[in-house]
Amino acid sequence: MASTYLITGGCGFIGSNFILRLLRQRQDANVINLDKLTYAGNQDNLRDIAGDPRYRFVQGDITDAALVGELMEGADRVVNFAAETHVDRSLMEPGAFIQTDVYGTYVLLEAARQARVERFLHMSTDEVYGDVPEGQTSRETDALNPRSPYAASKAGAEMQCRAYIETYGLPVVIARPANNVGPRQHVEKLVPLFTTNALRDEPLPVYGDGRQQRDWLFVEDNCEALDLILHEGEPGEVYNVGAGNHLYNIDVAHLILDLTEKPRSLITHVEDRAGHDRRYAVNSDKLRALGWAPRHDATAGIQKAVEWYLQNRWWWEKVRDESFQEYYDKQYGKRLAEAKPDHRE
Ligand code: NAD
Ligand code: TYD
Report how far ligand 2's centroid is from the alpha carbon of 189 (Å).
6
For the stretch 29-87, pLDDT in tens is: 999 999 999 999 999 999 999 999 999 999 999 999 999 999 999 999 999 999 999 99
Give the residue from 19, 326, 23 showing the smallest Cα distance to 184. Answer: 19
| Residue 235 alpha carbon to ligand 2 centre in Å | 32
Instruction: Tell me if 190 CB under 6 Å of ligand 1.
Output: no
- Cα of 205 vs centre of ligand 2, distance in Å, is 10
Please report, for the chain, how many H helices and E strands are present, in that order. 13, 14
- Each residue's pLDDT tens digit, 195-206: 999 999 999 999
What is the pairing mode between strands 246-248 and 213-215? antiparallel
Residue 188 known to be catalytic: no
CB atoms within 10 A of CB 284: 26
Average pLDDT estimate for 155-184: 98
Using a 6 Å cutoff on CB, does residue 87 contact ligand 2? yes
Which value, to the nearest 10 degrees, does the dihedral of the CA atoms of residues 16, 22, 23, 24 take?
100
Side-chain-side CA neighbours of 342 within 13 Å: the count stands at 19
**Residue 126 falls in the annotated catalytic set:** yes
Cβ atoms < 10 Å from Cβ of 11:
27
Confidence of residue 210 (pLDDT cuts 50, 70, 90): very high
Burial 28-46 (b: 16+ CB within 10 A, else e): ebbbbbbbbebebbbeebb
Return the SS3 of 112: helix
How does the average pLDDT of the chain come out, rounded?
A: 97
Q: Please report which confidence band the pLDDT of residue 342 belongs to, taking 50, 70 and 90 as the band edges.
A: low
Backbone angles phi, psi at 188, to 5 degrees: -75, -20
Q: Which of 35, 84, 110, 127 is catalytic?
A: 127
Query: Which atom of ligand 1 lies nearest, measured to the CA of 184?
Result: 3
Exposed, middle or buried by CB within 10 Å (0-12, 13-18, 19+), for 83? buried
Residue 98 in contact with ligand 1 by CB distance below 6 A: no
Assess whether pLDDT exceeds 70 at residue 344.
Answer: no
- SS3 category, 253: helix
CA–CA separation, 12 vs 43, rounded Å? Answer: 9
Confidence (pLDDT) at 1: 78
User: pLDDT (tens digit, 9 = 90+) per residue, 211-241?
Assistant: 999 999 999 999 999 999 999 999 999 999 9
Residue 62 · residue 68 · CB < 8 Å: yes
DSSP output for 42-74: -GGGGGGGTT-TTEEEEE--TT-HHHHHHHHTT
- Residue 264 DSSP class: G
- DSSP code of residue 138: B
- Ligand 2: atom nearest CA of 189 is 2
340 Cα to the center of ligand 2, angstroms: 19
| Residue 264 alpha carbon to ligand 1 centre in Å | 32
Q: Is the pLDDT of residue 343 over 60?
A: no
| Dist. CA 40–CA 31, nearest whole Å | 20
* Cα-based angle 317, 180, 121 (whole degrees, multiple of 5): 115
* Residue of 106, 150, 328, 332 with catalytic role: 150
Could you tell me if the CB of 203 is within 6 A of ligand 2? no
Are 196 and 316 spatial neighbours (Cβ–Cβ below 8 Å)? yes
Catalytic residue list contains 134: no
Q: Which atom of ligand 1 is nearest to the CA of 16?
A: 26
Could you give the C-alpha distances from 278 to 50, 132, 178, 221, in angstroms and in order? 40, 8, 14, 24
CB 105 within 8 A of CB 135: no
- CA of 190 relative to ligand 2 center, distance in Å: 5
Instruction: Write down all domains in the chain, each with its CATH number in brackets.
Output: 3-178+218-241 (3.40.50.720)
Residue closest by Cα to atom 22 of ligand 2:
205
Higher pLDDT, 6 or 341: 6
Task: Give the residue ranges of DSSP H helices in the chain.
Answer: 13-25, 65-72, 87-92, 95-97, 105-115, 149-168, 190-199, 219-232, 249-260, 285-288, 298-311, 313-319, 322-338
Per-residue confidence (pLDDT) for residue 345, from 0 to 100: 47
User: With a 6 A CB cut-off, is 240 part of the ligand 1 pocket?
Assistant: no
